[in-house]
Amino acid sequence: MKQRASIRSIIVGLALLAVAGAWYLHRRGDGGERDAAGEAARGAEPGLIADRVWVDSRPEKYTDYTNVMLVVTGAPIGLFQKASAYQATIELFDYKRRDAALWVNFPQSGKKRETKFRIRECNDLPPFDLCLDLGSNPWGGPRRYYAMKDQDDERAQLGELRHQLEQRIAGASAPGLKR
């Protein structure tokens, strides 16, 4: 049980570090324009896609891979990650959201994809209570992810790790970045 919690902490920690990178880009001023339709729909069900850690599974061994997806509203940037305790692959993307559709651009590869999605309450993978179903995965990974509806619950589940990372993000100062 302790091993599972440790693996989950590692994976979530990597995902949160990626969010910190997105935050730096936003602070630097390279965040791009906000999607006005997305901001207006933020309180609606499709808006639940943003600012949450979405995972496809709970690893049982150190070598099990877990896919993570994040969509950050402030930048607008997101990431897809496939990671085990020993290996991780991450690709950042920028996006526009209109209702329940994402237009995704991967700057590294130049790929551009559109995917429709649906979010619903579910209890398939406790303690997660939301399911995200993608029409297609723009990154080529799984089409179903899980997250927590209540972000305070997410914060409580991540415990001290999340608090430490939030403190680093809030007080961060990186050389060469404009404020």
Q: What is the pLDDT of residues 77-133, one digit of tens each?
A: 999 999 998 999 999 999 999 999 999 999 999 999 999 999 999 999 998 999 999
Range of the domain at 137: 2-157
User: What is the number of domains present in the chain?
Assistant: 1
How far is residue 21 from each of residues 18, 30, 86, 91, 97, measured CA to CA in Å? 5, 12, 21, 12, 21
Report yes or no on 89 lying in a domain: yes
Q: How confident is the model at residue 150 (pLDDT cuts 50, 70, 90)?
A: confident
Round to whole Å and give the CA distance between 179 and 172: 11
Q: What is the pLDDT of residue 152?
A: 80
Residue 164 domain-assigned? Answer: no
Q: How many CB atoms lie within 10 A of CB 3?
A: 12
Prediction pTM value? 0.67
- Kindly state whether residue 101 falls inside one of the protein's structural domains: yes
Asked, for residue 175, whether it belongs to a domain, the answer is: no
Tell me: the pLDDT tens digits for 17-69?
544 444 433 444 433 333 333 333 333 379 999 998 999 998 899 999 999 99
